[in-house]
Amino acid sequence: MNPPPAVDPLTRHAAEVGAALESQDQAWSKGFTRRRFIQGAGMVGVAALGTQLVTTRASFAAPTAAGADPTSLNSMVVVFLRGGCDGLRVVVPNSSTLGFDHLAQARPALLPAASTLLPLADGWAANASLAPLMSLWNSGELAFVPAVATSPLRSHTTAARYMESGGQPTLTTGYLDRLLTTLGPGTTFRAVSAGYGQPDSFQGYEEKIALDSLSAYSMPGWSTEDAAVAAESLYRGLDMPLASKVRDTVASLATAATARAQATPANGAVYPSNNSFASGLRDIAAMLKAEVGLQVATVDVGGFDTHTDEANDLDRLLLSVSQSLAAFMTDLGPQRRSRVTVVVMSEFGRRVAQNASGGSDHGFGGLMWLLGGGLTKSQVAGRWDQLSPTALDQGDVRGLNSPFDVLGEVATARLGAGSLVTMFPDLAPAPLGLLRR
Amino acid sequence: MPSPALPLIRATAANAIKAVTASSPNSRIPKPLKFDQNRHLLSRFAFGPWGSDNPGTPDTWFEKQVVLGQKSAGYAGIAGLTDLYPYLLRPPAQTRAQLTAEGNLYGGTSQDQVLRATLALQAWSPAQLYETVVDFFSNRLNVANYSDGVWANRASYDRDVIRANAFGTYRAMLTAAMKHPAMLMYLNGDVSTWVAPNENLGRELLELHTVGITAGYTQTDVVDSARILTGRGVDGRFSDYQWSNGAHSPGPVQVLGFTHANASTATGEEMGDAYVAYLATHPATATSLARALCVRFVSDTPSAELVQAVADTYLANDTAIVPMLRTILRSTEFWDSRGRKLRRPMENVIATVRQLKLTAVDLDKGATALANLGSGLGNRPLQAAAPPGYADTQQSWLSAGALLRLWNAQLNLLNGAWPDSITKPTPDFLYGGPAPATVSVALDALAKTLIGTAMTTNEQNALLEYLGESPGLSLTRSKLPSILPHVAAQLLHTAHHHLR
């Protein structure tokens, strides 16, 4: 072997810096190039449909057209409980077989009063704050998965990132972004996050809409339609994510107007007031009722980091979450919600033992909830080990069920994802039988 | 690709600018933005340019700002602000007494005043560098305003922890934060005792405030970090910091490279200070803080080399904050980064006020109007609910809903929607003088005022289409004067204004 040619260190360094800058540029403009490629690749039919969808005021009629793939009519709504929800106080393992005796010893202050618990099945019982959801349990539209595994670090940001990256924290995309890629092109409103920004699960290449309020989602100014055209024209020819977002925003205005027409809750549904989670769900319901082609929606609720005074704080929060979800399901009505599956998750569960402040510290195994259409039945599903001092993971509920099996099953059974390879690259799918195809 | 200009850090900003402009054909600045040293400087180290005012040479401007910031430390950036908002200066116990006297003990009066003062200073204080640094560290050591239990002490946190140390050392700021009742209440340090240490504060100190999650600490480290901080509490009246020997967890502790026998609870507080100082001067803290500063001031993806240079500056200057900013200012990467940051929503509103040189008709009403403008944006200062504070990357804030709200806010400010609170820009201001003769000249004049540069042909055509008029039309026959705020708003809707 010849020695490598001598390179002037400054030149080599310049080349390295140049390469680093190039990768920065790519990171910054990520999404834009890729999207242009998809449009450029043709898909004439889809493109034509898309044009129609975003520029006419006619409601989105395509999904109900005869012959459409029925899974293309379905939607998934992911509710993320930020802060690490204490699943053990939401759905209590309430029998000796499930390990109630250890629970009673380790967290007496965090056990709901026995008389208030709502019996579910197989020894499980729900917190009384879930009462608004019990009619869904009775109609086969509510299920839970306990002992959901998460990141071992027990940190909010790391665990949330783990969950929302689909167990791939080194990837720059979220699992819902990769689901959208798997599903192929859709409408402008196919992916919506209710709130101020978008969650990590939405990071990536596919276009999404983040909106905190459907009622505020309109173009201001003199002659609003011309104003929207002008705003878009001012970005003509620009190659940056902001320009791409402006184009999508302007293209979505007409569809948003049709959704706004559906904003009044139906079927006597009453959403809690002054509650951003409830108003987010109300907006999502409006878009679903308006048939704008919504496939994936996300909405967050904060406040679950109950290090102190958990019994009061958590129950109050759970009640408002349950009331909001119940209103959402009522608003949609039995027929419309048969095409909607809601998944409720959090970044981790909390420690089995209570702490000295009437709360609980960060734990491991958490709880997922499923509501709505397509459930095989109401159940508490998945693996569970009887709680005991030796059956814990550093004092926490073990992670026996993969959250990605649950999410993956929704994707395949309900949304028609043919494969989970893109969404969850390392997952050997082991569905829990939660959902009907 | 641009040819990188080496070395990365120059002796002065002027030298860095020279190096970047010499390679301008290879500029990384996204079109339609162009190299503009004044606007770039004031979009990063200030909350946006004040109209078209010229800051002078960047090196001189920066050093003047350092002096001004020291002189205006606290709330001196706006004369009379502390008379208007007396809670800004009250110690927690006095705040508590005053709130009680007002019959509103658990109310938000004191916190409202902190929020309004913060917004007023961001918009109108001449000490802009100081306000950007305060904004950064308030977010870095976040204690959410309006969170439980901080009604009496959040103002003190703003004054005694963040503002008092913004131009000092991070070590001093962190040491103060870890003994402040607001931080202790926010992250449950107040209830963490030897009986069962609450891990919240001990964990976030490692993860968010210092070394970061990749530093390689374990759950055992987290528990010891929490144990070290036990004993730091808040008096029974939820107002002042109080050390308690009886609450401290004695016995050996080890976190990363910090070890201590911790034999006596009597020396626990002192040990904790040593622990905080150890973390503040840890190389991983330097990198983590340097990276966050580069993300704030340079780009979402700063180079590892720039981050390292800023981290080195931090360690070489005993954790002093201003020298890190100076390193950034003198880097070629900074001067080649125009337009590579998205303005966060609230920052966009403040930048609009500054671009239009709007002032408060009545200071309290003006500040309140800014707070109200921010209420739908999810980005009011000091109000991130979760410990990490607000993100500062494009990914987090590029949203259709936010765009429409911002466009609406821009139009409202141009329209003078709050005549009792905030001034309205005059046509003379927008045109930069008396009304021009033709539509074309008028549009160019507007662009100069609002985006600091001439329009491209495409931009001019878009506005002509909006007006439905030809460029040579006499302004007296044009509809432009009658819809002036709407046309001006279009210029603020552009990338020129939305990028930092």
**Chain B residues whose beta carbon lies within 8 Å of the beta carbon of residue A192:** none
The Cα of B316 is separated from the nearest Cα of chain A by a number of Å equal to 24
pLDDT at B4: 53
Three-state helix/strand/coil letters over B141-207: CCCCCCCCCCCCCHHHHHHHHHHHHCCCEHHHHHHHHCCCHHHHHHCCHHHCECCECCHHHHHHHHH
pLDDT at B107: 80
pLDDT at B331: 98
Q: Are A345 and A378 in contact (CB under 8 A)?
A: no
pTM reported for the whole predicted model:
0.83
The Cα of A247 is separated from the nearest Cα of chain B by a number of Å equal to 10
**Alpha helix ranges (H) inside B356-470:** 363-374, 394-397, 400-415, 427-431, 439-451, 457-467
Q: Give the list of residues 6+ apart from residue B482 with CB closer than 8 angstroms, or none.
A: none
Length of chain B: 500
**What mean pLDDT, rounded, does chain B reach?**
95
pLDDT at B101: 93
Cα A174 from Cα A185, distance rounded (Å)? 17
B94, containing H or E segment: helix B92-101
Q: Are A124 and A132 in contact (CB under 8 A)?
A: no
Cα B54 from Cα B49, distance rounded (Å)? 9
User: Percent of chain B, pLDDT > 90?
Assistant: 86
Q: Are B416 and B359 in contact (CB under 8 A)?
A: no
pLDDT at A27: 47
Structure tokens that stand for A433 in this block: 């039988």
Cα A364 from Cα B387, distance rounded (Å)? 20
Q: Each residue's pLDDT tens digit in chain A (437 positions)?
A: 344 444 444 444 555 555 555 555 544 444 333 333 333 222 332 332 333 233 222 223 344 444 455 666 899 999 999 999 999 999 999 999 999 999 999 999 999 999 999 999 999 999 999 999 999 999 999 999 999 999 887 888 789 989 999 998 778 789 999 999 999 888 889 999 998 777 889 988 888 888 889 998 999 988 899 999 999 999 999 989 999 999 989 989 999 999 999 999 999 999 999 999 999 999 999 999 999 999 999 999 999 999 889 999 999 999 999 999 999 999 999 999 999 999 999 999 999 999 888 999 999 999 999 999 899 999 999 999 999 999 999 999 999 999 999 999 999 999 999 999 999 998 999 999 999 98
Facing residues of A371 across strands? A142, A342
Torsion over CA: B197, B198, B201, B202 (sign): positive
Q: Does A356 touch chain B (CB under 8 A)?
A: yes
Give the orientation angle of helix B304-316 with respect to helix B322-329, to 10 degrees: 140
**Chain A residues whose beta carbon lies within 8 Å of the beta carbon of residue B4:** 14, 17-18, 21
Question: 3-class DSSP state for residue A56?
Answer: coil
pLDDT at A206: 84
Burial status of residue B142 (CB atoms within 10 A of its CB: 0-12, 13-18, 19 or more): buried
Q: Are B233 and B245 in contact (CB under 8 A)?
A: no
pLDDT at B395: 81
pLDDT at A6: 46
Is A233–B301 a contact, with Cβ atoms under 8 angstroms apart? no
pLDDT at A172: 79
pLDDT at A22: 52
CB pairs under 8 A between A and B: 204
**Chain A residues whose beta carbon lies within 8 Å of the beta carbon of residue B396:** 197-198
Cβ atoms < 10 Å from Cβ of B63: 13
pLDDT at A65: 41
pLDDT at A188: 83
DSSP state of A411: I
Reported as half-sphere exposure (CB side, CA atoms, 13 A), residue A424 has a value of 24
A320 φ, ψ (degrees, to nearest 5): -70, -35
Q: Does A359 touch chain B (CB under 8 A)?
A: yes
pLDDT at B108: 87
Cα B197 from Cα B276, distance rounded (Å)? 17
Q: Are A327 and A270 in contact (CB under 8 A)?
A: yes
Q: Are A180 and A295 in contact (CB under 8 A)?
A: yes
- Of residues B385 and B101, the one with the higher pLDDT is B101
Structure tokens that stand for B492 in this block: 């603020």
pLDDT at A46: 32
pLDDT at B375: 79
Q: Which of residues 137-156 of B touch A (CB under 8 A)?
A: none
pLDDT at A71: 64
Cα A26 from Cα A290, distance rounded (Å)? 37
Burial string for B409-444 (b: 16+ CB within 10 Å, else e) reads bbbbbbbbbbeebbbbbebeebbeeebbebbbebbb
Reported as half-sphere exposure (CB side, CA atoms, 13 A), residue B354 has a value of 26
Which of B399, B483, B486 is the best substitution to test chain A (most A C-beta atoms within 10 A)? B399
pLDDT at A69: 56
Is A242–B498 a contact, with Cβ atoms under 8 angstroms apart? yes
Cα A172 from Cα A182, distance rounded (Å)? 16
pLDDT at B323: 98
Cα B413 from Cα A9, distance rounded (Å)? 54
Q: Is the pLDDT of residue B384 over 90?
A: no
Among B133, B278, B116, B153, which Cα is nearest to B211's?
A: B278
Cβ atoms < 10 Å from Cβ of A265: 18
User: DSSP string of B210-233?
Assistant: SS-GGG---HHHHHHHHHHHTTEE
Among A275, A351, A278, which Cα is nearest to A310's?
A: A351
pLDDT at A34: 33
pLDDT at B87: 97
Question: 3-class DSSP state for residue A131?
Answer: helix
**pLDDT, mean of residues B197-206:** 94
Q: What is the pLDDT of residues B13-57, one digit of tens each?
A: 999 999 999 876 667 888 899 999 999 999 999 999 999 999 999
Burial status of residue B365 (CB atoms within 10 A of its CB: 0-12, 13-18, 19 or more): middle
Residue with tokens 């920065």: A24
Among B220, B224, B231, which Cα is nearest to B184's?
A: B231
Q: Give the list of residues 6+ apart from residue B468 with CB closer than 8 angstroms, or none.
A: none
Cα A195 from Cα A416, distance rounded (Å)? 27
Q: Does A109 touch chain B (CB under 8 A)?
A: no
Is B494–A305 a contact, with Cβ atoms under 8 angstroms apart? no
pLDDT at B1: 37
Q: Does B243 touch chain A (CB under 8 A)?
A: no
Structure tokens that stand for A218 in this block: 């309109």
Name residue A160's amino acid: A
pLDDT at A50: 36
pLDDT at B5: 59
| Beta pairing class for A340-346 and A366-372 | antiparallel
Range with the poorest average pLDDT among A238-242, B62-66, B272-276, B409-413: A238-242
Burial status of residue B79 (CB atoms within 10 A of its CB: 0-12, 13-18, 19 or more): exposed
Question: Cα B230 to chain center, whole Å?
Answer: 31
Facing residues of A211 across strands? A194
Is A153–B213 a contact, with Cβ atoms under 8 angstroms apart? yes
Burial status of residue B86 (CB atoms within 10 A of its CB: 0-12, 13-18, 19 or more): middle
Is B463–A230 a contact, with Cβ atoms under 8 angstroms apart? yes
Question: Cα A209 to chain center, whole Å?
Answer: 14
Q: Which of residues 340-359 of B touch A (CB under 8 A)?
A: 340, 342, 345
Q: Is the pLDDT of residue B88 over 90?
A: yes
Question: Cα A88 to chain center, whole Å?
Answer: 21
Torsion over CA: B87, B89, B92, B93 (sign): negative
Cβ-nearest to B490 among A17, A18, A234 = A234
Q: Give the list of residues 6+ apart from residue B343 with CB closer than 8 angstroms, or none.
A: B43, B351, B497, B498, B499, B500
- Of residues B182 and A3, the one with the higher pLDDT is B182
Residue with tokens 């958490």: A366
Name residue A9's amino acid: P
pLDDT at B294: 98
Range with the poorest average pLDDT among A276-280, A383-387, B86-90, B187-191: B187-191
Q: Is the pLDDT of residue B172 over 90?
A: yes
Which of B217, B404, B443 is the best substitution to test chain A (most A C-beta atoms within 10 A)? B404
A188, containing H or E segment: none
DSSP state of A210: E
Q: What is the pLDDT of residues B210-242, one digit of tens each?
A: 999 899 999 999 999 999 999 999 997 778 999
